[in-house]
Structure 1
């Protein structure tokens, strides 16, 4: 478990935006489409395509208190799931967070 937690933390620390996702999940796809639509640079970790995916999901729950995907981080800050991301988009806050993180191409 310690290894999975380190792996998750490394992804969070080393990327401006990271989305822990499952390739078949419609909510994950909606989150990625939103980020793509804004032209955001992000890393998507597809948990269902990794041997350690379920261990990473357990580690995510420990780190963020959230087990479900998508589980998104911007500038090392836990954003939450797709509904959280869409609410930020609607309020205009998402673009500001992405800009501040340096994840939007000018």
Structure 2
């Protein structure tokens, strides 16, 4: 379990950077079986090719309204969603304190 969590933690941090960082996440990341669905503020800040080539990513689908589906497979989707949401919440809390 620890190895999976370490891999997921690292992958979540990497995917967050590829999505344009915490400030570019417009809504909570959600998971649906094998996908991580993220709404971003600006699609142009998403590193699409690098995101597609990430080791845990099986596919990327750009949806209407700045939504992105990242196909990651069942073992990762819920964990990545949780880790990204926690990171974004922490960044928002830090920004409010400044």
Normalised to the residue count of structure 1, the TM-score between the two structures is: 0.32
Normalised to the residue count of structure 2, the TM-score between the two structures is: 0.34
